[in-house]
């Protein structure tokens, strides 16, 4: 993991607009910057565009207008072959998990490391450790289809953090788990944050926001993003 000075912007949006196909603009004139090492919640009503904003941040979509600067790179001027290197610095917990159904939990979590060409011996060491930490020690060989919603969510989280990302984007990461596990997962995020990872968590859970918010939260409504302190 790269250690960057805290405070320097890790991601910056400048008048970003996004529309799907010919539909209305889901995001309009979104401008904000997140300093490196910060921890933000992203809130807003359902359908407001939280997942869409995260999609722009993890380079799953390109904005229809405006400028996205990630790790000091203007995404519009970034070549296709340069994207993987940027994406490897980002961990994503998708709202719908997007686990690969034909693989075991272990292989799913190992995937980001395999893609990077990490040695199998390393993978064998770290992946079961992390899965145990999220309470899935007994489900290493399970296929996602045999796991509960909350178990899948934890596999998804493990896959997002296994590569020690500089930026962690989590979309409703505690939506399917009880309060006890939700706390545990938030502590995991806090630990990562202390080690330097910038974190954005989209959530509806006000209690969680109350309890863990240290930095201004981002709130989306009517296509606009505002900072709430």
Partner 1 sequence: MMLFRRRSDLPLAGDATSRFLPWLVALMVFLAAMAVAGAFVISGLMERWDRDVSGTLTVQVIPAGGDHAEAATEERVRVAVEVMRKVPGVLAVKAFDKKRTLALLEPWLGNTDMVQDMPLPRLIDVTVDSDARIDLGEVASRLARAVPGASLDDHRVWLSRLINLSRTMQWLAVVVVVLIGAVTSATVVYATRTGMAVHHGIIEVLHLIGAHDDYIARQFADRAFSLGIAGGLMGLGLALPALTALGWAAKRLEGGFLPSIGLPVLGYVALALLPLLAAGLAMLTARLTVHGTLARMP
Ligand X SMILES: Nc1ncnc2c1ncn2[C@@H]1O[C@H](COP(=O)(O)OP(=O)(O)OP(=O)(O)O)[C@@H](O)[C@H]1O
Q: Which residues bind ligand X (CB under 6 A)?
A: 20, 23, 26, 44, 46-52, 95
Which is nearer to ligand X, 135 or 150 (by Cβ)?
150
The answer to whether residue 26 forms part of the interface with partner 1 (CB under 8 A) is: no
Looking up tokens 């606009």 gives 224
Tell the smallest beta-carbon distance from residue 45 to partner 1 (Å).
Answer: 26
Spatial contact of 18 and 45, defined as CB atoms under 8 Å apart:
no
For 41, 95, 216, the CA distances from 229, given in Å and listed in that order, are 11, 25, 4
Taking the least distance from each CB to ligand X, the nearer of 5 and 24 is 24
Smallest distance, ligand X to C-beta of residue 28, A: 12
How are the residues of the chain apportioned to helix, strand and coil, as percentages rounded to the nearest 5?
Answer: 40, 25, 35
Q: What number of other Cβ atoms are within 10 A of residue 68's Cβ? A: 21
Q: Where does residue 89 rank: exposed (0-12), middle (13-18), buried (19+ CB within 10 A)?
A: middle
Which range of residues in 33-41, 59-67, 185-193, 214-222 is near partner 1 by CB under 8 A? 59-67
Binding positions for Mg ion, 41-100, rule CB under 5 A: 50-51, 95
Distance of CA 29 to the CA centre of its chain: 22
With binding defined as CB under 8 A, does residue 124 bind partner 1? yes
Q: Is 19 exposed, middle or buried (0-12, 13-18, 19+ CB in 10 A)?
A: middle
CB 194 to Mg ion: min, Å: 27
Nearer to Mg ion, 28 or 203 (CB): 203
DSSP codes of every residue in 186-200: HHHHHHHHHTT-EEE
Among residues 4, 12, 67, 87, which is the contact residue for partner 1, using CB under 8 A?
A: 87
Q: Which of 88, 143, 184, 219 binds partner 1 (CB under 8 A)?
A: 88
**Cα first-last separation, the chain:** 29
Least distance (Å) from ligand X to the CB of residue 25? 10
| Chain residues that interact with partner 1, rule: CB under 8 A | 58-62, 80-81, 83-85, 87-88, 92, 98, 100, 102-104, 106-107, 110-112, 114-116, 120, 123-124, 140-141, 159, 163
């Amino acid at each position: 993991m790269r250690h960057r000075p805290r405070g320097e912007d890790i991601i910056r949006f400048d008048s970003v607009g996004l529309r799907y196909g010919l539909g209305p603009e889901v995001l309009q004139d979104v401008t904000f910057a997140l300093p490196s090492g910060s921890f933000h919640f992203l809130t807003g009503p359902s359908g407001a565009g939280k997942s869409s904003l995260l999609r722009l941040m993890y380079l799953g979509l390109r904005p229809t207008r405006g400028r996205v600067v990630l790790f000091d790179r203007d995404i519009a001027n970034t070549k296709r072959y340069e994207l993987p290197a940027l994406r490897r610095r980002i961990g994503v917990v998708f709202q719908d998990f997007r686990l690969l159904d034909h693989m075991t939990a272990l292989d799913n979590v190992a995937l980001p490391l395999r893609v990077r060409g990490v040695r199998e011996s390393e993978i064998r060491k770290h992946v079961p450790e992390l899965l145990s930490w999220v309470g899935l020690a007994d489900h290493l060989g399970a296929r996602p289809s045999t796991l509960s919603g909350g178990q899948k969510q934890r596999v998804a989280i493990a896959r997002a953090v296994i590569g020690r990302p500089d930026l962690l984007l989590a979309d409703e990461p505690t939506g399917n788990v009880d309060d006890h596990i939700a706390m545990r997962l938030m502590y995991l995020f806090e630990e990562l944050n202390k080690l330097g990872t910038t974190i954005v968590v989209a959530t509806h859970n006000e209690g969680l926001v109350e309890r863990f918010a240290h930095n201004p939260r981002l709130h989306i409504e009517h296509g606009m993003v505002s900072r709430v302190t």
